[in-house]
Amino acid sequence: MNSEAIEIEHFEEGKQKLVGVPLVGSKLRAILLESGFNDLLSLGISMAGWKLYHRQVVVRNNRWYVSIGRLIRDADKNQKVIAKDDNPLNLRRDNLILGPGRAKFRARVKHKRSDVKRNRRGVRPTASA
């Protein structure tokens, strides 16, 4: 595990509050609205390890790649997310449109293993607030 700090950039463009998330192995940054960024944080999506893969910004979530654009737009399995300006790094909600078709990477968010796995006595752990 790399212990390098991730530098999230907060800035404004016009009246929009934006966030820049660095991509692994490059100097590129994915740009998204601050509200979308906060939504991703509330879902438990890691800001570490974002990368460009098949013209999509994805993050590894346990075994799967999760498309950040699909999470932002909350796309169903029979919908694909298309960037209006053809820039896969522009993840602003108003730039991402939903279209018919199957996606390469469906947004899959797994629960923490401790939330799902039973302990030795077969009792599920209680959710702590």
Token code pair at residue 52: 């460009």
Q: Which amino acid is at 57?
A: V
Asked if residue 121 belongs to a domain, the reply is no
Per the domain annotation, does 25 fall within a domain? yes
**Domain annotation covers residue 105:** yes
**Number of folded domains that form the chain:** 1
| Residue 31, in any domain of the structure | yes
**What are the φ and ψ backbone dihedral angles of 27, each rounded to 5 degrees?**
-95, 5
The one-digit pLDDT tens for each residue of the chain (129 residues) are 455 678 999 999 999 999 999 999 899 999 999 999 999 999 999 898 999 998 899 998 777 888 999 999 998 888 999 999 999 999 999 999 998 887 655 544 444 444 444 444 445 555 554
Q: Is residue 64 part of a domain?
A: yes
Q: Distances in Å between the alpha carbon of 42 and those of 23, 32, 39, 56?
A: 20, 15, 5, 21
H-helix or E-strand spanning residue 67: strand 64-67
Per the domain annotation, does 29 fall within a domain?
Answer: yes
Structure tokens at 86: 């053809």
- This prediction has a pTM of 0.74
With respect to residue 125, please indicate whether it lies within any of the assigned structural domains: no
